[in-house]
Amino acid sequence: MPDRNMPDKNTPDKNTPDRSKSADAADDGIRLQKLMAAAGVASRRVSEDLISAGRVEVNGEVVTELGRRVQETDLVSVDSVAIQLDTSRRYLMLNKPTGIVSSLQDDRGRPDLSQFVSRYDERLFNVGRLDAQTSGLLILTNDGELAHVLAHPSFGVLKTYIAWVEGRVTPATISKLTSGIHLEDGPIAADKARILDQASGGRETIVEITLHSGRNRIVRRMLEEVGHPVVDLVRRQFGPLHLGTLQIGEIRDLTKAEVGQLLTISRDAKATTGADAASDQPDDPADDPAGS
């Protein structure tokens, strides 16, 4: 006769976790509001309110049910702005000084970006490059897919530069820059250009120029072609990012809002092209286009 105090082998012990159910839950992902809270979007309660209000999308579809489970690889956005779910990704902004080459390890022993990234655990790389004599906004990340979208000219991400040039720039010269000029490697046109200021006597002019091209030293070559060699060049803006008050040589993490703007660009680019950008980081991302 079976001992009533002994558990039946076919009856689960109530004190023993059901590992199969835990595994299934893990396979099904994490509740959307919990993942949003972990990503720092809002508290879980506020995240639930955002979902119920129809302000949250998962992979392009509005989600209103609170029980929805998602993976870190899903594309989640709030009010059409993407949020970062993969916390292993890092996004930094550097105000690169002049005299620094855009490489993590320069084979000629010149000062490079390693001095700025050595403090971070992640293997970071630069998105495109600035030539050694150009200062300003440089993005560093370990997100290869985003880097590809930001750096490749086919995605049309705009970059804005402030150039101090020799001589007096005229409106006719600005028109020439925006209508297009011919260089040795083909025609090129600025997306926008304007005169900001001129020194007395017309010795120098400050010009703002915006373009999406990533050809090597393109801003310097364009301005030299129209008769105004560059004296000093700074990149002030890259896509939605502004250099702001970040001092030369300083580096900082992007804010959640800034990361969201970049991830939205990447998401929209994938949706437009219908193909994934390269997800693996390049062997030497500094060789990617985006020089100035």
Report the distance separating Cα 61 and Cα 76, nearest Å.
9
* Residue in 224, 113, 214 with CA at minimum distance from that of residue 165: 224
Report the distance separating Cα 228 and Cα 64, nearest Å.
57
Cβ(219)–Cβ(213) under 8 Å? no
- Over its C-alpha atoms, the chain yields an Rg (Å, rounded) of 25
Residue with tokens 């929209």: 268
Report the distance separating Cα 176 and Cα 118, nearest Å.
43
Report the distance separating Cα 76 and Cα 39, nearest Å.
11
User: Is 131 part of the annotated catalytic residue set?
Assistant: yes
Report the distance separating Cα 81 and Cα 69, nearest Å.
19
Catalytic residue among 131, 191, 232, 268: 131
Task: Write out the catalytic residue numbers.
Answer: 131
